[in-house]
Amino acid sequence: MRIDQLLAQHEHDEAVERLYRLAEAAERAGNLREAAVRYRVAADQRLGDAAVRLARVLFALGERAEATRWCHAAVADGFGEAEEMIQEDSEARQRFLEHAARVMVGAPTFDWVPASGPERRIELSEVQERTRALRALDRRYGGIACHTLVLDHLTTVEPMIAVGDEEMWTAVAEVHELAGWTAFDSGMPGVALPHFARALTLARQAENEALIASVLTRAGRMFLHHNAPDDALKAFQLGFVAAHNSWADRRDLSDPPQAIASLTTKVGTYGADRVRARALTLTALARNHLALGDLTTAAELTGEALTAATNLRSARVDDHLRWLDQEARDAGASALVKHIARRT
């Protein structure tokens, strides 16, 4: 080979290596589509592990068919770990659904903690206001436009779960839910799934059934969009159960008979460790029986709720008892009011 040919080949190889480095940088920055474009060139030139890295990015983007092809190419080039990536991708949704099922039965699910504590105290209202603003951006301009901003917000607020209460857990869960949703809308379902999983974990810690239902519905829509109807159906079914359970979180008493049926089933599923959930559900049952004029049952359920909440410090439980107190006063149920006064 002549010198000019050697030089041309050297320049070509350097250019491919530069693209590989740029792809690495894009992947670290979360720009997965840009990373895929650059890795694709490097993989096509069979540079090192570029095919493996390209496959990983493509799986995150939901491009499973192409990712699988590159995995096979990588295996043929001696990168046996690429075979495992195919299996891991197929198992990711199953792991998420298993996690969701554990969340639904109230099993302990907190499997991670923030890398560090909060740098400063962040007020709950500040977290919620920023999340609302980002959600509005998503609705108006799409997930691609604001996903990075959501991740920045998440980095700032997630450490607060170590020092916060159930309201802060809910607020951070909503940020994870939005991060997952904007990742999905940005074409990155593989990135979305861990955010949805953490949102479920935090929502369960806060006993927020309505938020659990919301997260599962969004995950189901993502599965459906990416041609996984069976997994979508499972997510929707779990979400329906959570929505049914969320009667305990409602202030509105629009349908007491239906609420009583749902809540009676729900309260029987709680073990001794689900103190807050049991107190909330018993209080909701008392409110709905009171709405039907059944003061005797309402008083019995209130007593059970107060007993369950004896050593519990929870703003949500206090709110529900306050609603019950006001409704008892409006109904002229003075005995019930005195009963509640023991707690308040």
Delimit the domains of the chain by residue range: 3-79, 96-242, 250-341
Collect the ranges in the chain with pLDDT lower than 50: 6-7
Do 332 and 317 form a contact (C-beta atoms < 8 A)? no
C-alpha 240/C-alpha 256 separation (Å) is 19
**Tokens found for residue 98:** 């298993």
pTM of the model: 0.72
Amino acid 273: pLDDT: 76
C-alpha 95/C-alpha 318 separation (Å) is 36
Amino acid 11: pLDDT: 63
As a CATH number, domain 3-79 is 1.25.40
Kindly give, in sequence order, each residue whose CB lies less than 8 Å from that of residue 194, ignoring residues fewer than 6 positions away.
180
Q: How many CA atoms lie within 13 A of 144 on its CB side?
A: 7
Amino acid 343: pLDDT: 59
Amino acid 7: pLDDT: 46
Does domain 96-242 fall under CATH 3.40.720? My reply is: no
